[in-house]
Amino acid sequence: MRAIAITLALLAGAAHAQPRPLAPDEISKLVSPQPPEVVLLTFGVGERIFEKWGHAALCLDRRVCFNFGVTDFDEGPGMIWPFVRGAQRFWVDPEHWADTLGYYMDEDRDIYEQVLPLTPAQARAVERELVGTLDEKHRYYHYDQFTNNCTTRLRDAIDRGLGGWLYTTSQARYPLTFRELGLRGLADVPALAALTDFVIGRVIDEQPTRWDAMFHPGVLREQIAALLGAQPRLMYRRHGPAFPTEGSRWRLPMLAIALVFTLPLLLARRWRKLERPAVAWAALFLTLWGGIVWTLVLASPIPALRWNENVLVFVPFDVVLPVLGAARRRAYATVRIAGLLLVSALCGIGVLHQPLWIPVLSALLPFALMAMIRPKFAPPRE
């Protein structure tokens, strides 16, 4: 979901600056003489659309913070295709503690601090993990919101410092699905929440383990408190209004948009001259969604985009509708209706898991009207 948010932000031209990274000569002095104090910082939701899920950083001795959420936002729309292809490079930057805090205070985002209760050996292990990520061989990674992001990288570093203990103790199921966790960040962006019904696939409707749920900074904070006893301390509270965690999914407006492309077909039942332009108008909607869904499924290695049950709802073949004769178009519509009813049945018995009822209705309505427009036949000759 964050990849979609970043994509929309890029289209809107909304890039942002990052805190200043350490200079090369400063990086060489990162390892302290004594085992460091390891501090987890988690940051609340921000105003920008790609800040809706919070952020996190792992810090040593309140001197340096490791930020894995860095990429070249100046690339603009050129980043969109790499994001879809799962090839957009992110990397870690070491940043001054004061610069990190100042940046997120200026952003007016909540800041929580948790001092990890580690033994000297464990603290040294986490330090080695973090400093080792600055090596060019390990510094870069390809972003995936749910499995490989700026927060999972911190989780993994802490876990390796603990010898795998965090992973082992976090195998119970989290009460929310990936989709529910993601949608909490979109409560005040209902249009984007509605878009996820169409383009985000079935894997995020699974209930994750608590380990997997720690892709979310808020869950990481909760689990570190519960498992390590490191209670979060609020360092800075947002002065602006709180962001909601529940809101409209904008499903009825999405259905209304589908109706805009469907209603001309209803008029075409009475005024047959409108039939072909009405079919072309409806086909534009169906083909657009078919093209988007199938392009993401075929082009993206990201599981949340690749395994999308909407491939059974929207197909690019609908582009042929305007050129089919009336009888063949009616037959095509009948076949598509049967397929959509089968999809609905599979949802009903739990074989399909995505929230498909708005996509299914969006496709079913125009095909139902096309099937009801009977072809004209010439009257028999004497």
Is 382 a member of any domain? no
User: Length of the chain, please?
Assistant: 382
What's the one-letter identity of residue 191? A
At 40 the three-state DSSP class reads: strand
Query: Which of 3-17, 320-334, 341-355 shows the lowest mean pLDDT across its residues?
Result: 3-17
Determine the average pLDDT of the residues in 211-218: 96
Residue 264 has phi, psi (to 5 degrees) of -55, -30
Question: What are the pLDDT digits (tens) for 305-316?
Answer: 999 999 999 999
Domain of 359 in residue numbering reads as 251-372
Is 246 a member of any domain? no
Residue 313 shares a structural domain with residue 207? no
Determine the average pLDDT of the residues in 70-80: 70
Is residue 203 over pLDDT 80?
A: yes
d(CA 158, CA 92): 15
User: Structure tokens of 235?
Assistant: 């360092």
Asked if 240 and 46 touch (Cβ cutoff 8 Å), the reply is: no
Mean pLDDT, the chain, whole residue set: 89
pLDDT value, residue 269: 80
d(CA 373, CA 276): 11
pLDDT value, residue 314: 97
pLDDT value, residue 75: 62
Residue 41 shares a structural domain with residue 86? yes
Asked if 83 and 143 touch (Cβ cutoff 8 Å), the reply is: yes
Structural domain ending residue among the three candidates 236, 266, 285: 236
Asked if 359 and 314 touch (Cβ cutoff 8 Å), the reply is: yes
Confidence of residue 201 (pLDDT cuts 50, 70, 90): very high
Residue 220 shares a structural domain with residue 84? yes
Strands ordered across the beta sheet of 111-115: 140-142, 89-96, 64-70, 55-60, 38-43, 111-115, 233-236
Is 377 a member of any domain? no
Is residue 382 over pLDDT 70?
A: no
Residue 95, strand partner residues = 21, 65
Residue 31 shares a structural domain with residue 137? yes
pLDDT value, residue 12: 37
Determine the average pLDDT of the residues in 123-134: 94
Kind of pairing between the strands at 89-96 and 55-60: unpaired
Residue 132 shares a structural domain with residue 222? yes
- Ramachandran assignment for 141, one of left (phi > 0), alpha (psi -120 to 50 degrees), beta (any other): beta
Residue 308 shares a structural domain with residue 206? no
Is 227 a member of any domain? yes
Residue 120 shares a structural domain with residue 221? yes
d(CA 280, CA 268): 12
Is 98 a member of any domain? yes
Asked if 189 and 158 touch (Cβ cutoff 8 Å), the reply is: no
d(CA 322, CA 23): 61
Residue 45 shares a structural domain with residue 185? yes
User: Structure tokens of 276?
Assistant: 């072909």
Is residue 144 over pLDDT 70?
A: yes
Residue 146 shares a structural domain with residue 281? no
Question: What are the pLDDT digits (tens) for 252-287?
Answer: 999 999 999 999 999 988 887 889 999 999 999 999
Is 144 a member of any domain? yes
Structural domain ending residue among the three candidates 183, 206, 236: 236
Is residue 208 over pLDDT 70?
A: yes
Is 378 a member of any domain? no
The structural domain count of the chain equals 2
Residue 171 has what DSSP assignment?
-
pLDDT value, residue 377: 46
Determine the average pLDDT of the residues in 336-353: 96
pLDDT value, residue 2: 56
| H-helix or E-strand spanning residue 219 | helix 217-228
Residue 130 shares a structural domain with residue 181? yes
d(CA 125, CA 129): 6
Give me the percent of the chain exceeding a pLDDT of 90.
Answer: 71
Confidence of residue 79 (pLDDT cuts 50, 70, 90): confident
Asked if 193 and 355 touch (Cβ cutoff 8 Å), the reply is: no
d(CA 313, CA 289): 9
Alpha-carbon Rg for the chain, nearest whole angstrom, is 25
Residue 42 shares a structural domain with residue 141? yes
Give me the percent of the chain exceeding a pLDDT of 70.
Answer: 91
Is 243 a member of any domain? no
Structural domain ending residue among the three candidates 236, 262, 287: 236
Residue 105 shares a structural domain with residue 12? yes
Question: What are the pLDDT digits (tens) for 149-163?
Answer: 999 999 999 999 999
